[in-house]
Structure 1
Amino acid sequence: MTPEVAVDLFREALWLTSMIVATIVVPSLLVGLLVAMFQAATQINEQTLSFLPRLMVIFLTLIITGPWLVRELMDYTRTLIMNIPSLIG
């Protein structure tokens, strides 16, 4: 395996990881921002107020995008396993 192939595999793995994390984290960040703006406008300083909406958005995001995320991860894993003979020799 050449260094270029190793770097390419590592780049693909990092891209897939960042895509999976961003798919889950970005909606949570947006809801957290909206709740924070609501708390600032109403001066409600309850720490647990932002937890439940973000948790619900994460669950909803995983329900909606879960099959796609698993399919992407399985495609990457399948491609990696199928290419093992060509990567070794």
Structure 2
Amino acid sequence: MTPESVMTIGRTAMEMTILVASPVLLVTLVVGLLVSVFQAATQINDASLSFIPKIIAVLATFALAGPWMLTMMTDYMRRVLTDLPGVIG
């Protein structure tokens, strides 16, 4: 196992993590921004007002993007486990 192969595996793992997490993080960011603008405009400062829409948005994102995320992760794990004998020996 060479240092280059270790770096390639690590880089691929980080790319996959960012790719799979980005839909949920982006939706949470947009919903949080919209709720913050709404709270600033109406001067309503309730903690649950910012928490509940984010949870609903995250659940909707998992419902819509969940199959894609699962497919990406299983394909990645299949590639890693298939290439493992070649990397070790």
Give the TM-score band, short-chain normalised. over 0.9
The list of structure 1 runs, each at least 4 consecutive aligned residues, that deviate by more than 6 angstroms after superposition, is: none
The share of aligned pairs that are identical, in percent, is 39
Q: Does 1:54 find its partner at 2:59? A: no
Q: Which runs of 5+ in 1 are unaligned?
A: none
Paired with 2:23 and 2:4, the residues of 1 have a C-alpha distance of 28
Question: Which amino acid in the other structure matches residue 28 of structure 1?
Answer: T
How far the C-alpha of 1:45 sits from its partner, in A, is 0.8
Q: CA deviation at 1:21?
A: 1.8
Aligned residue number for residue 22 of structure 2: 22
**Equivalent AA in structure 2 for residue 39 of structure 1:** Q
1-structure distance, mates of 2:42, 2:84: 58
Letter in 2 for 1:61: T
Q: Which residue of 2 aligns with 1:84?
A: 84
Task: Work out the CA distance in 2 between the residues paired with 1:55 and 1:24.
Answer: 10
Alpha-carbon shift at residue 20 of structure 1 (Å): 1.7
One-letter amino acid matched to 2:39: Q
1:47 is displaced (CA, Å) by 1.0
Structure 2: gaps of 5 or more residues: none
**1:18 partner amino acid:** I
TM-score (norm 2): 0.96
1:64 aligns with 2:64: yes
